[in-house]
Amino acid sequence: MKRHFCLDIGGSFIKLGIGKDDSLAEVDAVPTPASYDVFLARTVDTLMAGGLQADDRVGISIAGSIDADNGSIHAAQLPFLANVGFAPELGSALTARLGEPLHAEIAVENDADCFAMAEAHFGVGQGFDNLFAIILGTGVGGAQVYHGQLLRGYAGTAGEWGHGPFIQKQDPSMPGYVPQFACACGQKGCINTIGGARGLEALHAAAGNPLADSRKIVDGWSDGDPACSATIASYVSVLSDALALTLNITGAQIVPVGGGLSSASDLLSVIDGEVRRKTLQARNKPMVIEGQTGQNGGLWGIHAQLLSEAP
Ligand SMILES: [Zn+2]
């Protein structure tokens, strides 16, 4: 069994874990540099310091979308990766240090895909053959794992339940009004515009409330504050509509949740109740539940992906 050198690259840290079989140990975490040259050099140094050899496999979980055609990476927090061939250049730089090329290609996967693989193989998705993982973080992400393998779909877009004009025009004078905010994808009314922490805050502000942090809104709802409760009611209503539809389409049996809002257990349990009420064939146990791989979902996920690719 080969060793897997797993990198989790985000806007703040580059984490390295070394995985083998069913185990994985986090061995290093270094700050993410702001320029590409330093970033590439630091990634190489981190792998070499971990003891990388040419017959080890290297996999990367990254917070961004990966172009299915040319492998370029578009990540809001890593803008310097947009026009470079990061994986091939990392491979060349490692060849120079190792004295020979890596024996296998470097795998690069998006962090939501990695979270789904982590939960399917090592988290709450164990024992289920059809899983739909969601991220309720800054925005909304998702990915489906079927019989242990990621579903990729056309141009790698499978699982992107957060996009598309789902929120319809409503009467702004009516209670529960949810505006059609513009989304970074170019559409208006995507679940991504209200489903994450920034979306929840935008929804709260659009109802005429002062700007408040998403945690304060969730806490206010728990304490019975009327304004926060109204915001959460709108939020849960629209989010659960979209998620129930997604589960009807995918037939997924379990929905592990990652991202900052996943730790709001009361909120998750209300979302779960609504989703199961709206789904055609719901399980009689909670489906929408907090993932178990948490902060290290990226490392466990890319390890799981490399395991799934093993001959
Ligand atoms: Zn969108």
pLDDT, tens digit, for every residue of 166-196? 998 888 888 788 999 999 889 999 999 999 9
Whole-model pTM above 0.85? yes
Tell me the CA–centroid distance for residue 149 and ligand 1, in Å: 25
Point out the residues of the chain with pLDDT beneath 50. none
Cβ within 8 Å of residue 104, ≥6 positions away:
2, 57
Tell me the CA–centroid distance for residue 199 and ligand 1, in Å: 12
Tell me the CA–centroid distance for residue 195 and ligand 1, in Å: 11
Classify residue 116: in a domain, yes or no: no
Residue range of the domain that includes 15:
4-111+297-309
Classify residue 135: in a domain, yes or no: yes
Q: Can you give the CATH number for the domain in which 66 is found?
A: 3.30.420.40
Tell me the CA–centroid distance for residue 181 and ligand 1, in Å: 9
Are 171 and 268 contained in the same domain?
Answer: yes
Are 282 and 304 contained in the same domain?
Answer: no
Tell me the CA–centroid distance for residue 193 and ligand 1, in Å: 7
β-strand pairing of 107-110 with 149-150 = unpaired
Tell me the CA–centroid distance for residue 158 and ligand 1, in Å: 14
Q: What residues flank ion ligand 1 with Cβ within 5 A?
A: 163, 183, 185, 187, 190, 192
Tell me the CA–centroid distance for residue 279 and ligand 1, in Å: 23
Classify residue 22: in a domain, yes or no: yes
- DSSP annotation of 263 reads G
Distance CA 52, CA 169 (A): 54
Confidence at residue 173, expressed as pLDDT on a 0 to 100 scale: 84
Tell me the CA–centroid distance for residue 5 and ligand 1, in Å: 33
Beta-bridge partner residues of 19? 4, 24
Are 261 and 136 contained in the same domain?
Answer: yes
Tell me the CA–centroid distance for residue 139 and ligand 1, in Å: 10
Are 190 and 77 contained in the same domain?
Answer: no
Tell me the CA–centroid distance for residue 179 and ligand 1, in Å: 14
Classify residue 118: in a domain, yes or no: no
Tell me the CA–centroid distance for residue 230 and ligand 1, in Å: 24
Tell me the CA–centroid distance for residue 159 and ligand 1, in Å: 13
Classify residue 259: in a domain, yes or no: yes
Q: What is the pLDDT of residues 224-267, one digit of tens each?
A: 999 999 999 999 999 999 999 999 999 999 999 999 999 999 99
Q: Are 263 and 289 in contact (CB under 8 A)?
A: no
Q: Give, in degrees to the nearest 5, the angle at Cα 262 between 294 and 132.
A: 80
Tell me the CA–centroid distance for residue 173 and ligand 1, in Å: 25
Classify residue 120: in a domain, yes or no: no
Phi, psi (deg, nearest 5) at residue 216: -65, -35
Could you tell me the two tokens for 89? 């250049």
β-strand pairing of 130-136 with 140-146 = antiparallel
Are 164 and 272 contained in the same domain?
Answer: yes
Count how many domains the chain has. 2
Tell me the CA–centroid distance for residue 183 and ligand 1, in Å: 5
Are 280 and 302 contained in the same domain?
Answer: no
Distance CA 188, CA 267 (A): 25
Phi, psi (deg, nearest 5) at residue 34: -95, -5
- The total of other beta-carbon atoms located within 10 Å of residue 269's CB is 14
Are 151 and 280 contained in the same domain?
Answer: yes
Tell me the CA–centroid distance for residue 65 and ligand 1, in Å: 13
Are 287 and 301 contained in the same domain?
Answer: no
Confidence at residue 175, expressed as pLDDT on a 0 to 100 scale: 79
Are 221 and 265 contained in the same domain?
Answer: yes
Classify residue 186: in a domain, yes or no: yes
Are 10 and 30 contained in the same domain?
Answer: yes
Distance CA 99, CA 264 (A): 49
- The total of other beta-carbon atoms located within 10 Å of residue 201's CB is 20
Classify residue 10: in a domain, yes or no: yes
Residue 126 amino acid letter = Q
Confidence at residue 283, expressed as pLDDT on a 0 to 100 scale: 83
Q: Tokens 């929804």 identify what position?
A: 203
Confidence at residue 149, expressed as pLDDT on a 0 to 100 scale: 97
Are 280 and 303 contained in the same domain?
Answer: no
Tell me the CA–centroid distance for residue 123 and ligand 1, in Å: 28
Are 145 and 276 contained in the same domain?
Answer: yes
Q: Tokens 């849960």 identify what position?
A: 236
Tell me the CA–centroid distance for residue 270 and ligand 1, in Å: 24
Tell me the CA–centroid distance for residue 188 and ligand 1, in Å: 7
Distances (CA, A) of 93 to 99, 102, 205: 10, 11, 48
